[in-house]
Amino acid sequence: MVAIKIPKKNVEHIMKRHSDWVQMLGLKSVAEVQVFLSRVVSQPDEVHSDKHASGVKYFLKRLQEAGDKLLCVVVVGEEVKTAYLINEQKYIKYRARRWA
């Protein structure tokens, strides 16, 4: 199994652009977000490959705190690029159009 890298610059992007779930979970530092993302990619509820882009995977984790939403962690190659919440409608759309 290849180790997934979670670069500081990508976590800073997540904390700035997708702060909703970070704040919801009470994560305060880059290190806390890195630990959480590491758990998600090592123990996801689902993993999907991208139909259109090789080397892209989506690691999904249902977050109890988020109600009906899932955390979608996007991994390109061996690196976490971003992570954001998706609702059921987006899940159905991605499953039909994007995920293999």
Could you read off the pLDDT tens digit of each residue along the chain, which spans 100 residues?
Answer: 568 999 999 999 999 999 999 999 999 999 999 999 999 999 999 999 999 999 999 999 999 888 889 999 999 999 999 999 999 999 999 999 999 8
For 62-72, b/e burial (b = at least 16 CB within 10 A) is ebeebeebbbb
Q: Is 21 exposed, middle or buried (0-12, 13-18, 19+ CB in 10 A)?
A: buried
> What is the pLDDT, as a whole number, of residue 67?
85
